[in-house]
Amino acid sequence: MDLFPHLLSLDENLLPKDGVVNYLGPVIERAAADHFFQRLRTGIDWQPDEAVIMGRHIATRRHVAWYGDRPYAYTYSRVTKTALGWTEDLLALKAVVEECSGEHFNSCLLNLYHDGSEGMAWHSDGERDLKRHGTIASVSLGAERRFAFKHKRGPERLSLNLAHGSLLLMKGETQSHWLHRLPPTKTVSEPRINLTFRTIDRA
Ligand SMILES: O=C(O)CCC(=O)C(=O)O
Ligand SMILES: [Fe+2]
């Protein structure tokens, strides 16, 4: 009998090459995940994300927030944000993620997708301020959404569903060689919150 099936996923790399992605499935039980979703929905300082398109600042419908150990300045899609101090809920989620991954994180970017019409385009999280080859730990709460990877130079593609309360780890060289995205979908009308725990590493 397998008492800890999700722990086995740490040995299973979803990528065929050039990086490591582990999907641990739901690591937070449903009632706790529901609780965190509700608390974060109202307790986080959500702001519309901004994009700079042809030199103009455009506010997106997707909302974002940025928290960390210190007031890190973080440049993301060419907009700089200053990290707010951890909330009790974020520290509790960080503890779960650190326990499951065996790694430590000093910051977290949160995304709020109001429904399936909002997503995130192909990108990698190789920002200058992030620790090189550091793990990114992604927690999903709320509506289940598809998440996709494609290799930057080859034909390889894969995708998976991110369940309520689940944890996905992107490790090692993943950001150097793969893009990821959250495709918009007509079939989801419920909101989703995503938390990506990261390590900011700067002089
Ligand atoms: O919402 C997600 O699952 C992914 C978010 C993401 O890729 C990011 O914030 O960099
Ligand atoms: Fe990302």
pLDDT digits (tens, 9 = 90+) for 81-109: 899 999 999 999 999 999 999 999 999 99
Asked whether residue 144 is assigned to any structural domain, the reply reads: yes
Flag whether 49 is in a domain: yes
Counting the structural domains of the chain, the total is 1
Question: 180 C-alpha vs ligand 2 centroid, how far in Å?
Answer: 6
Nearest to 195 by CA among 132, 101, 79, 117: 101
Mutate to test the pocket of ligand 1, among 49, 112, 138 (most ligand atoms within 8 A of CB): 138
- Give me the pLDDT at residue 105, please: 97
CATH of the domain at 39: 2.60.120.590
Task: List ligand 1's pocket residues with C-beta within 6 A.
Answer: 109, 111, 120, 125, 138, 147, 162, 180, 182, 194, 196
Q: What is the mean pLDDT of residues 137-158?
A: 98
- The residues, ordered by sequence, that sit 6+ positions from 32 with a Cβ below 8 Å of its Cβ are 165
Arithmetic mean of pLDDT, 12-20: 96
pTM score, whole prediction: 0.93
Q: Measure the CA–CA gap between 183 and 121, rounded to whole angstroms.
A: 7
Is 15 within a domain?
no
Protein residue closest via CA to atom 8 of ligand 1: 196
Residue-level pLDDT at 54 = 78
Tens of pLDDT, residue by residue over 60-73, are 889 999 999 999 98
Mean pLDDT of 152-179: 97
Q: What is the residue-averaged pLDDT of the chain?
A: 92
Block residue for tokens 């793969």: 178
Identify whether 1 is part of a domain: no
> Does residue 174 lie in a domain region?
yes
Q: Which of 147, 151, 140, 201 is nearest to 178 (CA)?
A: 151
pLDDT tens digit string along 29-39? 999 999 999 99
143 CA to centre of ligand 1 in angstroms: 14
Instruction: Tell me the residue range of the domain where 115 lies.
Output: 20-198
CA 34 to ligand 2 center in whole angstroms: 23
